[in-house]
Amino acid sequence: MVPHLTTALTGPINELEARILESMPAIERWFRLEWMEHTPPFYTSVDLRNAGFKLAPVDTNLFPSTFEHLAPEMLPLAVQAAMAAIEKICPEAKNLLLVPDSRTTDPDYLLNVQRLVQIFSQAGLNVRLGSLDPALAAPTARSLPDGSELVLEPLLRTRGRLGLKNFDPCTILLNDDLSAGLPPVLEHLHEQYLLPPLHAGWTVRRKSRHFQSYEEVAKKFAKLLGMDPWLINPLHAQCGQVDFGTPGGLDCVRANAETLLTKVRRKYKEYGINEKAFVMVKSDRGTGGLGLMTVRDVKDLDDRERLARHGISAARGGTDLSEVIIQEGVPTFEHIGDAMAEPVVCMIDRYVVGGFYRTHAGRAFDESLNAPGAAYAQLAFAESTQLPRPGVKPGASAPNRFYMYGVIGRLAMLAAAYELEATDPDAESYE
How far is residue 383's CA from residue 179's CA, in Å, rounded to a whole number? 33
Separation of CA 270 from chain center: 30
Least separation, in Å, of the C-beta of 409 and its own copies? Answer: 15
Q: How far is the CB of 177 from its own copies (least distance, A)?
A: 27
Query: Amino acid letter at 93?
Result: A
Q: Are 365 and 46 in contact, with CB atoms under 8 Å apart? A: no
Nearest distance from residue 46's CB to its own copies, in Å?
A: 18
CB closer to its own copies out of 37 and 428: 37
CB nearer to its own copies: pick between 22 and 270: 22
Q: Does 387 bind its own copies (CB under 8 A)?
A: yes
With CB under 8 A as the contact rule, which of the stretches 19-27, 194-202, 324-332, 423-431 interacts with its own copies?
A: 19-27
Nearer to its own copies, 272 or 390 (CB): 390
Residues in region 76-95 near its own copies by CB under 8 A: 76-77, 79-81, 83-84, 86-87, 91-94
CA distances from 345 to 178, 265, 358, 373 (A): 22, 29, 11, 21
Q: Which one, 183 or 388, has the nearer CB to its own copies?
A: 388
Cα–Cα distances in angstroms (integers) from residue 88 to residues 35, 85, 91, 416, 425, in the given order: 13, 5, 6, 19, 22
CB of 359 to its own copies, least distance (A): 24
Give the one residue of 25, 247, 248, 372 binding its own copies; rule: CB under 8 A: 25
Contacts with its own copies, 326-365, as mask; x by CB under 8 A: -------------------------x--------------
Name which position in 14, 104, 122, 294 contacts its own copies (CB under 8 A). 122
Nearest CA among 97, 161, 160 for reference residue 131: 97
Question: Which stretch, 197-205, 289-297, 386-394, 410-418, contacts its own copies (CB under 8 A)?
Answer: 386-394
Residue 35 or 268: the one with the smaller Cβ distance to its own copies is 35
CA distance 420 to 3: 34
CB of 374 to its own copies, least distance (A): 33
Q: At CA 174, angle to CA 122 and CA 385, rounded to 5?
A: 55
Binding of its own copies by 416 (CB under 8 A):
no
Residues contacting residue 168 through CB under 8 Å, at least 6 positions apart: 95, 161
**CA atoms in the 13 A half-sphere facing the CB of 213:** 21
The smaller minimum CB distance to its own copies, of residues 375 and 387, is found at: 387
CB of 394 to its own copies, least distance (A): 18
DSSP state of 123: T
Which listed residue (55, 125, 218, 295) binds its own copies by CB under 8 A?
125
Q: Which stretch binds its own copies (CB under 8 A): 71-79, 151-159, 199-207, 237-245?
A: 71-79
Q: Is the peptide bond before 390 cis (omega within 30 degrees of 0)?
A: no
* 20 near its own copies, rule: CB under 8 A: no
3-state secondary structure of 272: coil
The alpha helices in 50-139, defined as continuous H runs, are 75-89, 107-122
> Which residues have C-beta within 8 Å of that of residue 228, sequence separation ≥ 6?
222
Of the residues 4, 29, 103, 309, which one makes contact with its own copies according to CB under 8 A:
29
H or E element that contains 353:
strand 351-360
Give me the helices (H) in 73-106, please. 75-89
Q: Would you count residue 144 as binding its own copies (CB under 8 A)?
A: no
CA neighbor of 182 nearest in space, from 198, 196, 167: 198
Query: Among residues 5, 13, 20, 27, which is the contact residue for its own copies, using CB under 8 A?
Result: 27
Question: Can you tell me the distance from the alpha carbon of 104 to that of 5, in angstroms, rounded to the nearest whole number?
Answer: 34
Positions touching its own copies (CB under 8 A) are 24-29, 31-33, 35-36, 73-77, 79-81, 83-84, 86-87, 91-94, 121-126, 351, 384-388
